[in-house]
Structure 1
Amino acid sequence: METLKFNSTIKCTGCLATVTPYLDETAGANNWEVDLTNPNKVLTVKTDGVTAEDITKAVESAGYSVESIN
């Protein structure tokens, strides 16, 4: 299983609630988390075949953006 990391614009629990359905569908529930205490709001995704592009599209569909830091 690969781990992808992104800086994100997901800044609060409300943002998390918005993006959750998109990331759950793409990466699977419990396969991702956002560190809201980190200034860069790092999104970490454990993937099995999901690409960084897939995650980026999912987050953008929810109205947020990410930048890969792998």
Structure 2
Amino acid sequence: MRKIQEFKTNINCGSCVRSVTPFLDDLEGVTIWRVDVEQEDKVLTVEGNVPASAIIKMVEEAGFDIEPVAA
């Protein structure tokens, strides 16, 4: 089952999105992801069947801060 997860990040520009792209694109189970760089919380939305811990690890490896958005 595919799920949608949201995370608050500090990915705040196109260059930052390009930096994190290879990390998220290579993460098995991710169907689609996007970052709303116009929003204050810079929310990363990830669709797919992947644990939140794996998403957090990849974004941190890319050099960015990330935390789950409270439901």
Superposed pair shares fold, TM > 0.5:
yes
Residue number in structure 1 paired with 2:52 = 52
Q: Give the percent of matched residue pairs that are identical in Structure 1 and Structure 2.
A: 38
* SS of residue matched to 2:26: helix
Two-structure CA RMSD over aligned residues (Å): 1.2
Q: 2: CA distance between counterparts of 1:62 and 1:9?
A: 11
Q: 2: CA distance between counterparts of 1:36 and 1:18?
A: 14
Q: Which runs of 5+ in 1 are unaligned?
A: none
Residue number in structure 2 paired with 1:40 = 41
After TM superposition, the score normalised by the length of structure 1 is 0.90
Q: 1: CA distance between counterparts of 2:7 and 2:42?
A: 8
Q: 2: CA distance between counterparts of 1:9 and 1:22?
A: 15
Residue number in structure 2 paired with 1:2 = 3
Q: 2: CA distance between counterparts of 1:65 and 1:52?
A: 14
Number of residue pairs matched by the alignment = 68
Q: Which runs of 5+ in 2 are unaligned?
A: none
Moved segments of 4+, more than 6 Å: none
